[in-house]
Chain A
Amino acid sequence: MNIIVLVKSVPDPAVKVTVKNNQIVEDGLAWEPNPYDENSTEEAIRLKEKFGGKVTLITLGPKRAEETLKKQLALGADEGILVSDPAFDGSDELAVARILAAAIEKQGPYDLIFAGLTGVDWNQGVVGPAVAEALAIPHVAYVVGVEVNGQTARVTTEVDGGREIQEVDLPAVLTSMQNLNVPRYASLKNIMAVKRKQIPVWGAADLGIDPGQVGPNTVQTQLKSLVPPPERAAGRIIPGAPDEAVKELVRALQEEAKVI
């Protein structure tokens, strides 16, 4: 199987992002793969281990995205491609999806494409389905289980009130959730091997993309403001012995908060 994983580089999800002047403060920020992309990479490697084939990671971003890509490669993926061009800067997500779709077509035949459910940066969750639309193939979002049988797959998704099973013709795009699997750690051997790996960089010309069709002029939204969330007013610690404190808590919930 030829499996593609789309990897987005996002601010380290373990660190609290701060905002200033309608922008996030990027100084000292570490960039990591979007957490769902780790689940995607893990699932792709497991499928390769079972069926043979190749796992190719693709990321679109600035040069620094190469580091993120290498971190994921070290889990045991075969190839990484950095899609990067100043002309791509400022593209909206639909343009990003079209560029990624062009890169997927250029790299050759494919059976399955994984994307993350949503970016923990901008929480849009648009690129996976939009890549599928650009390639005119099916997609399934919210994926927690994948079973491949030849040219089809049985895919389990998490929905309100339970799970759904979808029958899917391949190739298709699947978007991964956190509980799809538990990603492995990179082995030291892989980490060392990846360091020396040459990552090809594909730009607009390589992909046959007209720079006028991507970049800032594709954007149909305007950011009006980006501010910190409202702080919650500090509450109070109810002092006293446990039984006293509990009595006071229940009184407060009934009489002050009126929630029980």
Chain B
Amino acid sequence: MANGVLVIADLRGSTPKRVTFETIGAARSVAQALGGPVQVALVGGPGVAAAAGPLGETGVDEIIVAESPDLAQYSAESYTDAIQQLTDANSPAVVLLSATPHGRDVAPRVAARLGIAYAADVTRIDVLDGQVVVTRPVYSGNAIASVALDSQPSIVTVRPGAYPVAPRQAGTSAGKQTTFSVNIEYAPGAKVVEFQEVKSERPDLSEASVVVSGGRGMGSAENFAMIEELADLLGAAVGASRAVVDAGWRPWGEQVGQTGKTVNPNLYIACGISGAIQHLVGMRTSKYIVAINKDPEAPIFKVADYGIVGDVFTVLPLLTEEVKKVKSQ
């Protein structure tokens, strides 16, 4: 009988990403409704067991260390083998991953291998009459689908920022810790050979609690210094519209929207952004939205909690000064 939830931890080396704690939060609510344990699997190379410390502080029922030299470098094929074997051995009702690049790379392949129901990038998981029902934004956020998953197990990736992180308590550890030996029979045809880290003093865009974003109205790459100054003052990430990325003013990694990142901060400040539908879908779930735009008809004002109609080159420096003032008080 399938029961419980198996979480595949998303790690950088042996460090769990923040989203893994969110996914554990999601797993806990599902497991409470369905019955059965929350198991968290650490899939990776030698040393990956170190992640058990911080993850154990959430008090999950079991941490399974699936460590192998064959898993030291990420490979969709080898990780599919590992997740398939973990799933077969533990018979969870649901397998959860985070909807990060690795999660969304491997989960569909596992679904194809096992022939099971798959839902990507979900924002909510409910259990209704014993059935797993996920909520997913579709059609670029213009519709919200509620989808029941009929297979057991099913496999789901959880959108970053959708769930709060599972609370942690220092000194707590998982109910038990076990090891699992993964059998990788074939060398994968594709694997990671290099990671080029983009070092930034600023928080990661998809995890930031404040985002300051600029659009074409910023006029030039140089003028983004104004955006950066306000962002640093607020401990914020910098975002951009596609127009700005296409113009080469900012890197793609900062693009917010349909073909960029989805952000979910407490505060999103849009400067010189018109608010095209493809931009809005990436930020409309922000808790508070501020828009600065010289065009009172700009669609961004329709979603903004607070708007200032004005020239960004006047308003933005004033805003930065005012924030400095209140921060120093």
| Interface residues, chain A, with chain B CB atoms under 8 Å away | 11, 13-14, 16-19, 24, 35-36, 93-94, 97, 118, 120-130, 132-134, 137-142, 144, 155, 157-169, 172, 177-179, 182, 220-229, 232, 234-238, 242-243, 245-247, 249-250, 252-254, 257, 259-260
Contact = CB atoms under 8 A, between A and B. Distances in A.
Contact of A250 (B120, B210, B246, B323): B323
A13 B139 CA distance: 8
Interface of B: 12, 17, 74-77, 80, 100-102, 104-106, 108-109, 111-113, 115-121, 133, 136-151, 154, 188-198, 204, 206, 210, 234, 245-246, 252-253, 255, 258-260, 266-267, 277-278, 284, 287-290, 296, 301-311, 314-315, 318-319, 322-323, 326
A237 B309 CA distance: 7
Contacts of A158: 101, 252-253
Contacts of B260: 178
Given A123-B136, A129-B108, A252 B323 contact: no
B102 A237 contact: no
A17 B121 CA distance: 19
Contacts of A178: 252, 255, 259-260
A172 B148 contact: no
A164 B133 contact: no
B198 A163 contact: yes
A249 B319 contact: yes
A253 B290 contact: yes
Nearest to A229: B144
A177 B260 CA distance: 9
A190 to B, nearest CB: 24
Contact of A166 (B145, B193, B204): B193
B149 A142 contact: no
Nearest to A245: B308
Contacts of A16: 142, 277
Nearest to B121: A123
A246 B318 contact: yes
Contacts of A221: 117, 119, 147-150
Nearest to B206: A160
Contacts of B318: 242-243, 246
Given A11-B139, A227-B144, A249-B319, A160 B101 contact: yes
Contacts of B308: 237-238, 242, 245-246, 249
B171 to A, nearest CB: 29
Contact of A228 (B115, B144, B277, B326): B144
Contacts of B188: 138
B142 A228 contact: yes
B196 A165 contact: yes
A134 B204 CA distance: 35
Given A247-B322, A260-B267, A141 B105 contact: yes
Contact of A17 (B76, B139, B149): B139
A130 B196 contact: no
Contacts of B148: 221-222, 224
Contacts of A254: 326
B296 A235 contact: no
A146 B192 CA distance: 14
B111 A94 contact: yes
B109 A226 contact: no
Given A221-B119, A235-B307, A242-B314, A161 B190 contact: no
5 smallest beta-carbon distances between A and B, as pairs: A138-B189, A138-B190, A126-B108, A130-B112, A235-B305
A229 B267 CA distance: 20
Contacts of B80: 133
Among A130, A157, A224, chain B packs the most CB atoms within 10 A around the CB of A224
27 contacts: A11-B139, A93-B118, A124-B119, A125-B104, A125-B108, A126-B111, A138-B188, A141-B76, A157-B101, A158-B252, A158-B253, A163-B198, A164-B194, A165-B196, A166-B190, A226-B143, A227-B143, A227-B146, A228-B142, A229-B141, A235-B301, A235-B306, A235-B307, A236-B307, A238-B308, A243-B318, A260-B323
A253 B198 CA distance: 31
Contact of A122 (B115, B138, B142, B289): B138
Among B111, B113, B133, B234, chain A packs the most CB atoms within 10 A around the CB of B111
A19 B145 CA distance: 11
A143 to B, nearest CB: 10
A251 to B, nearest CB: 9
A118 B99 CA distance: 12
